[in-house]
């Protein structure tokens, strides 16, 4: 139960926000919404609002959906003439299929957009009311015969950048090293009032994270300490907080895309790829660290959900945006048969990914 309850709360929040993004733009452009579901399968409980939308929670809490009036699925738009014959003029105005292309695209994009906005709100609130760490990072020790020593890094060097990522906090050093896309890492340090760039290799070691889970950790052979006598935690104003929130989202997105690219090229560590079971485990472990850590995790999962849904894979939002691009180029929607062929490919890819990540999760439990 210590894992299940935090997982259900986390998934419910990020899925609700995602689906509400679709719902908001659908209602804005006059599209009828018949169902707003959190979860799949048999309905546990729900209610109808005054516009006729059924809001419901279902038994399998691994996603959600909104269903539009008259649509077999939420994004069906092919064979418009045949669909329109089934409805009178008033009902036709509520159909997703007849809306201008830009409106349909915004309705689809609304889900990922809502996830990114949720992350901005969470990070901004943390930076404004709790603060953001700006403690400079100093090298406290360089291990003998380590990649860092061979590269020329020294004790008391102050780290100012890693792979073009400016290091603003001691907490960012490990993050930037571990998310590097290659074994070669550029470390920029401040030494005797001069900035010097060192190119160092890295290596993986099996280690434990803060929760005690075994992970492959990338290291260069240094230990870090604050460059100042005390931790520099600053509460930011709204504009600055939003700026750093967007910057954090950009970093997470960039790192994720780099990792996916490495996966495609067969260069990434696939043992770190996880699915629902891993998310459930992490959510339970993070919840034990307190509310702030748990809310921060919601923000990071929300970014991941928004970004992954933009991948050009049929069945995901990005796949439907891809179809809209084809429609714009061709001047007409792809045929229903063609779309169904793409959907089968997308379903195969998603099921394969789910099986693989579940296998990984079980092995690393």
340 included as an active-site residue: no
Annotated active-site residue in 19, 93, 149, 340: 19
> Using the 8-state DSSP alphabet, how is residue 96 labeled?
G
| Listed residue (166, 126, 118, 171) closest to 290, CA to CA | 126
Residue found under tokens 């099986």: 355
Which residues have a Cβ under 8 Å from the Cβ of 235 and sit 6 or more positions away?
127, 128, 129, 130, 131, 132
Q: Are 312 and 322 in contact (CB under 8 A)?
A: yes
List the alpha helices (DSSP H) in 130-275. 147-151, 170-178, 238-264
Q: Which tokens sit at 176?
A: 């930037």
Q: Which residues of 67-90 are buried (b: 16+ CB within 10 A; e: fewer)?
A: bbbbbeebbbbbeeeebeeeeeee
Which residues have a Cβ under 8 Å from the Cβ of 185 and sit 6 or more positions away?
162, 163, 177, 199, 200, 201, 202, 220
Active site residues: 19
């Amino acid at each position: 139960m210590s894992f299940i309850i935090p997982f259900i709360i986390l998934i419910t929040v990020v899925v609700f926000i995602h689906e509400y993004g679709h719902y908001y733009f659908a209602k804005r452009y006059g599209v009828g919404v018949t169902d707003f579901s959190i979860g799949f399968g048999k309905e546990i409980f729900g209610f109808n609002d005054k516009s006729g939308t059924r809001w419901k929670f279902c038994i399998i809490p691994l996603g959600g959906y909104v269903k539009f009036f008259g649509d077999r699925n939420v994004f069906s738009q092919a064979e418009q003439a045949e669909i329109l014959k089934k409805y009178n003029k008033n009902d036709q105005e509520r159909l997703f299929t007849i809306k201008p292309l830009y409106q349909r695209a915004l309705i689809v994009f609304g889900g990922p957009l809502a996830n990114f906005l949720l992350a901005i709100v969470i990070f901004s609130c943390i930076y404004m009311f709790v603060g953001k760490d700006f403690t400079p990072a100093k090298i406290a020790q360089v291990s003998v015969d380590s990649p860092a020593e061979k590269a020329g890094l020294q004790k008391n060097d102050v780290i100012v950048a890693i792979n073009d990522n400016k290091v603003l906090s001691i907490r960012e050093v490990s993050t930037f090293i571990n998310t590097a896309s290659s074994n070669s890492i550029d470390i920029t340090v401040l030494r005797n009032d001069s900035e010097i760039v060192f190119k160092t290799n890295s290596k993986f070691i099996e280690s434990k994270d803060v929760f005690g889970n075994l992970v492959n950790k990338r290291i260069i052979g240094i230990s870090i300490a604050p460059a100042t006598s005390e931790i520099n935690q600053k509460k930011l104003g709204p504009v600055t907080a939003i700026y750093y929130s967007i910057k954090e989202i950009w970093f997470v997105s960039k790192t994720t895309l780099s990792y996916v690219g490495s996966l495609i090229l067969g260069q990434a560590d696939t043992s770190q790829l996880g699915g629902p079971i891993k998310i459930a485990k992490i959510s339970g472990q993070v919840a034990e660290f307190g509310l702030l850590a748990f809310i921060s995790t919601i923000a990071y999962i929300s970014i991941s959900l928004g970004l992954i849904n933009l991948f050009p894979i049929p069945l995901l939002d990005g796949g439907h945006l891809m179809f809209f691009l084809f429609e714009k180029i061709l001047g007409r929607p792809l045929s229903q048969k063609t779309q169904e062929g793409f959907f089968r490919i997308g379903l195969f890819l998603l099921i394969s990914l789910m099986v693989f990540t579940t296998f990984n999760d079980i092995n690393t439990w």
